[in-house]
Amino acid sequence: MDGLMISPFTQSMNTASTPTHTTLVIGGTGKTGRRVVERLAAQGLPHRVGSRAGTPPFEWNDESTWHRALEGMTAAYVVYYPDLAFPGAAATVATFFEVAVRNGVRRLVLLSGRGEEEAQASERALQSSGADWTILQSTWLSQNFSEHFLYEPVLEGVIALPAGDVAEPFVDAEDVADIAVAALGDDRHIGQVYELTGPRLLTFADAAHDIAEATGRDINYISVTAEEYKAAAAAAGVPAEEVEPLTDLFTTVLDGRNARLTDGVRRALGRQPRDFRDYARATAASGTWNVATAAER
Ligand SMILES: NC(=O)c1ccc[n+]([C@@H]2O[C@H](COP(=O)([O-])OP(=O)(O)OC[C@H]3O[C@@H](n4cnc5c(N)ncnc54)[C@H](OP(=O)(O)O)[C@@H]3O)[C@@H](O)[C@H]2O)c1
C-alpha cells in the first residue's frame, strides 16, 4: 500500500488479545499529528501520514483523495484544518466520518477546540458515526508560539493579539500527542471527552515573559482590538476568507471562557501536564527562536 509506514517488528509485537490498528494520521505533518506519527513509528505501529504532500495525498477540500488515503486503514487521528469553528467545517468533517466508517475505520480520535461552540457539531457527528470515538478538546497549544502563527511575532519580539489580559492554560502538543496515541491503542479511552489544559493559567503577557526569559531576548505582548488584529493579519498575507473567522475565533475563545484549569491530561495519562515554562526552555534550547539562524531557514 502506498505511503504505509510499517515496521518489520510490528508483526511480532501483535498479540491476539491486542489488535493493532492501522492509522491514518490526518494533519500528520502538523503540530500534534507529526508527534502522533513519531510515537506510532517508535512503537512500530502501522500508520499513514495524512498530508497534501502524502503518498497518496489527503486534501480536506477534495473528497476524492479521502478514499485512497483511507484504503487499508482501521483507525484515524483527525485534525481538521484550518479550524473546526470555520464555516463549512462541520459538514466536511461529518462527511469524512461517514466515508471513513464505510471504508472500514472502526476507531476515530478527533482533535477539537475547547470552548468552541461551532466545533460541537463535529463532535456530535463523531459520536454518531458508528466508530469507537475519543474527543480531545484542546485549549491553545503552546507550540503556536514556535510552529504556527505566533512564531514570527516571537522572532520579531512583539506578540499582538486581541486577547486583553485574559488567561489561557496553554497545553503542550507533546501531551496531546501522548493522549491521541493512548486513545488509538487502549479501549479505556473509548467514549471519553478529554478537556485538555496545561497546569497553569497564563496571560499572553506571562507567556511572552516566559519565552523572553528562556531566550534571553526582549519579547512583549501588546493587546490590540479585533479591528487592529484583522488589519495586521490581512497585511501579513493571511487569506481574506480566513481573516474574519480567525479573528472571530480569537475574540470568542479568548473572552475568558477557557480561563480555568482541567484535569483532562491527568485523567487520560495519569500524570501532570507539561508546564509552559518547560516548553519555552526546551524550545529555546533547540534554537527554534534563534533569530540569526531562523533567517537562514
Ligand atoms: N492550534 C491550536 O492551538 C489548537 C487548539 C485547539 C484545537 N485546535 C484544532 O486543531 C485543528 C488545527 O490544528 P493546528 O492548528 O494544530 O494545525 P496543524 O495540525 O499544525 O496544521 C497543519 C496540518 O494541517 C494539514 N493541512 C493544512 N491544510 C490542509 C488541507 N487543505 N487538507 C489536508 N490537510 C491540510 C497540514 O498538512 P500538509 O501541509 O502537509 O498538507 C498539517 O499537517 C483545528 O481543527 C483546531 O480546531 C487547534
Whether the per-residue pLDDT at 14 is higher than 50: the answer is no
Question: Per-residue pLDDT averaged across 191-211, rounded?
Answer: 98
Whether the per-residue pLDDT at 22 is higher than 50: the answer is yes
Q: How far does residue 24's CA lie from ligand 1's centre (Å)?
A: 14
| Residues 86, 99, 35: CA angle, nearest 5 degrees | 65
* Minimum mean pLDDT range among 8-12, 111-115, 233-237: 8-12
* pLDDT top residue among 215 and 244: 215
- Per-residue model confidence (pLDDT) at position 13: 40
Q: What's the pTM?
A: 0.94
Who's near 77: CB < 8 A, 6+ residues apart? 23, 24, 25, 26, 27, 28, 33, 36, 109, 111, 180, 184
- Per-residue model confidence (pLDDT) at position 17: 38
Q: How far does residue 64's CA lie from ligand 1's centre (Å)?
A: 20
What are 231's three cell numbers? Answer: 488589519
- Per-residue model confidence (pLDDT) at position 242: 84
Structure letter (DSSP) for residue 229: H
- Per-residue model confidence (pLDDT) at position 11: 39
- Per-residue model confidence (pLDDT) at position 19: 67
Cα 261 to Cα 268: distance, rounded to the nearest angstrom: 15
Question: Per-residue pLDDT averaged across 216-231, rounded?
Answer: 95
Whether the per-residue pLDDT at 131 is higher than 50: the answer is yes
**11 in Cβ contact with 79 (< 8 Å):** no
Whether the per-residue pLDDT at 16 is higher than 60: the answer is no
- Per-residue model confidence (pLDDT) at position 6: 61
- What residues flank ligand 1, with Cβ below 6 Å? 27-33, 51-53, 58-61, 79-81, 83-84, 111, 113, 119, 138, 140-141, 144, 148
> Which of 55, 80, 81, 170 for a ligand 1 pocket mutation test, highest count of atoms within 8 Å of Cβ?
81
* pLDDT top residue among 255 and 183: 183
- Per-residue model confidence (pLDDT) at position 237: 85
Give the tens place of pLDDT for each residue, 141-200. Answer: 999 999 998 999 999 999 999 999 999 999 999 999 999 999 999 999 999 999 999 999
Q: Which atom of ligand 1 is nearest to the CA of 119?
A: 47
Cα 264 to Cα 180: distance, rounded to the nearest angstrom: 12
Whether the per-residue pLDDT at 15 is higher than 50: the answer is no
Question: Per-residue pLDDT averaged across 274-284, rounded?
Answer: 98
What's the chain's average pLDDT? 92
Name the H helices within the chain.
10-13, 33-42, 64-70, 89-102, 120-127, 144-147, 151-156, 173-185, 204-215, 226-235, 240-253, 264-269, 276-286, 291-296
Give the tens place of pLDDT for each residue, 84-101. Answer: 998 999 999 999 999 999
Cα 219 to Cα 86: distance, rounded to the nearest angstrom: 30
> Nearest 5°: phi and psi at 153?
-55, -40
* pLDDT top residue among 53 and 12: 53
- Per-residue model confidence (pLDDT) at position 156: 95
